[in-house]
Amino acid sequence: MRFKEIEKILRKDGWRLYSQSGSHCQYTHPDKPGRVTVPKHNGDLAPFTVKSIWKQAGINERRIK
């Protein structure tokens, strides 16, 4: 899964860009606690990285597929 796809899903769920430093973006949500860090790369992200992003965001993987 690519950065743009992940970003689109996060934004649709209500996450907003909080900070960008180097090749990573951090998102915050008005109702959910914490931040989600997403590496901004051109290629596909590793499956374990994508799984970690969904876990941080509190998004069910099954809902995405």
- If you write DSSP's letter for every residue of 4-31 in order, what string do you get? HHHHHHHHHTT-EEEEEETTEEEEE-SS
Sheet of 16-21, strands arranged across: 16-21, 24-28, 35-39
pLDDT of res. 63: 73
Alpha carbon separation from 56 to 5, 49, 60 (Å, rounded):
16, 11, 10
Q: What percentage of the chain carries pLDDT values higher than 70?
A: 98
pLDDT of res. 65: 65
Amino acid symbol at 25: C
- Does CATH number 3.30.70.360 belong to domain 3-56? no
pLDDT of res. 4: 96
Position of tokens 């998004």? 59
